[in-house]
Amino acid sequence: MFTHIDHGMVLPECTRETTPQGRKYFTPEGNTYPSVTTVLGIQDKSGLEAWKKRVGEEEAKKISTQAAVRGTAVHKLAEDYLDNREDWKAGQMPSNIFSFQQIKGILDKRVNNIWFQEAFLYSDYLKTAGQVDCIAEFDGKLSIVDFKTSRKPKRKEWIKNYFMQESFYAVAFEERTKKPITQLVTIITVDGDEPQVFVEHRNNHIRDFMQLRVDFNKLKGF
């Protein structure tokens, strides 16, 4: 059983919608901010485009759709399992349960004292918003914990966008609660291979995100 901390904190709810400019969040104060994934989306996509040409548009679309469905399912399984739900497998495809089983042992051994799951976070300073997977202790240290799925093992240099996203969540959480978080944890299920865990420090990535937010504003105008 996972312990859920009664910290007395309440994170404000946001609303959101997908627009031609990307996903937007609307804060309780009436501000409109782009989602963190929309901001990250302006990065160079030449590698992605090269992959699409290599495998073909139709195959690329099929793979991307399957990956999105699996990613959503694994996120839900992780959320329900960490919530101590007895029916955490209910309604899930066996293949998605198998993917989640890869990281289940990591959660059992290294994650506990859960603060929030699927919580809205926004920063008036960074003028960005998003929804964090999990805020909990990882190896005894309060962390931003993000769940990812992948067809192949990742190299650290390939997933800087994950770390930038998590660094944003850490800063936004501190802005909303005055509680600092510096540890970022990325847990990745990998098809046919061992799961991966990357542990990073917020300060190694937040400046990159801040610069990207400036670039986004210049490009998109908000």
Q: Cβ contacts of residue 135 below 8 Å, gap of 6+?
A: 114, 115, 116, 117, 119, 142, 143, 144, 145, 169, 173, 181
The percent of residues above 70 in pLDDT, for the chain, comes to 91
Between CA 103 and CA 200 the distance in angstroms is 18
Task: Report which of residues 17 and 61 the model is more confident about.
Answer: 17
Considering the domain boundaries, does residue 93 fall inside one?
yes
pTM of the predicted model, to two decimals? 0.93
Residue 2 lies in a domain: no
Range of the domain at 74: 17-220
* Residue 101 covered by a domain: yes
Indicate if the pLDDT at residue 80 is higher than 60.
yes
| Portion of the chain with pLDDT greater than 90, in percent | 82
Please count the structural domains in the chain: 1
Q: What average pLDDT does this structure show over 108-121?
A: 98
Backbone angles phi, psi at 32, to 5 degrees: -115, 120
Q: What is the CATH number of the domain that holds 168?
A: 3.90.320
Domain membership flag for residue 4:
no
Does residue 9 belong to any structural domain of this protein?
no
- The predicted model gives 1-17 an average pLDDT of 94
Q: Which residues contact 74 (CB under 8 A, 6 or more apart)?
A: 96, 99, 100, 103, 147, 149, 189
Given this model, what pLDDT does residue 70 score?
85
Span of 15-24, 43-52, 74-83, 164-173 with lowest mean pLDDT: 43-52
Q: What does the alpha-carbon distance between residue 123 and residue 131 come to, in Å, rounded to a whole number? A: 12
Q: pLDDT at position 144, please? A: 98
Residue 57 reports pLDDT greater than 80:
no
Residue 7: inside a domain, yes or no?
A: no
- Residue 193's CB is within 10 A of a number of other CB atoms, namely 13
Distances from the Cα of 198 to the Cαs of 85, 116, 127, 155, in angstroms?
27, 20, 27, 10
Token duo for residue 135: 């805020």
Q: Please name which of 10, 37, 40, 8 lies closest in space to residue 25, comparing C-alpha atoms.
A: 37
Confidence of residue 197 (pLDDT cuts 50, 70, 90): very high
Both structure tokens of 211? 């610069």
Average pLDDT over the chain, rounded to whole?
92
Count H helices, E strands: the chain? 6, 8
**Do 27 and 14 contact (CB within 8 A), yes or no?**
yes
Domain membership of residue 5 (yes or no) is no
Question: Would you say residue 119 has pLDDT above 60?
Answer: yes
| Stretch 63-86: mean pLDDT | 87
Residue 10 lies in a domain: no
